[in-house]
Amino acid sequence: MKDPNNRRILITVIMGSVRPGSYTSKAVALVANEIELHDDIAFEVVDPATLKLLPPGITGDETDAKKLRASVSKATGVIFATPEYHGSFSSITKLVIENLGFPSVLSGKPVTLLGVAAGQIGAIKSLEALSSVCAHVGAIVLPGPVSVPRVREVFDSQGRCLDSVVEKRIRSVATNLIDYIRGNICPRLTLEAMVRAGTA
């Protein structure tokens, strides 16, 4: 199924760092590469650095917020990748979530989480906080969030992952979501299509 128009599954990946050359983007590149291995899946990486997102209550140009909401609305599943900043997920990730509406278009979407941190404890605290916020807005947060500690030692300057075990764990953020979608959402969509067509 090489035609992109035939790709039934769409995954939106939300980048949680706007820092040029961020380690989050290096990890996201691996996640994107893993998704690309699946011919029937399309994906979009949302880079908030390219969007003008406003805090709630500030009126202004809503064009990019609408684009963001459209990407998440049509997604079958969503991946959040965030750095750990001051013991939590990044403020830009929160701004993205706040721009997803109230009620949120994340509601009902399966979500997997990836956190990277410079420290040896990893991104545990940011993943717990992000999981809580995603669940609060109604997302289906899948078990198995991936935390990458000492991330600056894991990638080289070219973005190559130097640790095959860590690379496998980062890629699992994609495969975990894909397995959930294939096992739970695709059968439901197929059944609905059959019911509509009168063949079920």
Ligand X SMILES: Cc1cc2nc3c(=O)[nH]c(=O)nc-3n(C[C@H](O)[C@H](O)[C@H](O)COP(=O)(O)O)c2cc1C
- Residue 117 in contact with ligand X, rule: CB under 6 A: yes
Q: Which residues are within 8 A (CB) of 19 and not within 5 positions of it... i.e. 6 or more apart? A: 83
Q: Which of 11, 75, 79, 116 binds ligand X (CB under 6 A)?
A: 116
Residue with tokens 């096992």: 183
If phi > 0 it is left, if psi is from -120 to 50 it is alpha, else beta; for residue 82 that is beta
Instruction: Give phi and psi for 42, each to the nearest 5.
Output: -100, 155
Q: Of the two residues 12 and 22, which places its CB atom closer to ligand X in the complex?
A: 22
| b/e per residue 54-71 (b: at least 16 CB within 10 A) | eeeeeeeeeeebeebbeb
Helix (H) or strand (E) holding 193: helix 186-197
Considering only 12, 13, 17, 34, the residue that binds ligand X (CB under 6 A) is 17
* Residue 124 binding ligand X, by CB under 6 A: no
Select the residue interacting with ligand X from 3, 4, 56, 86 (CB under 6 A).
Answer: 86
Among 12, 22, 112, 131, binds ligand X (CB under 6 A): 22
Tell me: does residue 49 bind ligand X (CB under 6 A): no
Which residue number has the CB closest to ligand X? 119
| 83 contacts ligand X (rule: CB under 6 A) | yes
Binding site for ligand X (CB under 6 A): 17, 19, 22-24, 83-87, 116-119, 151-152
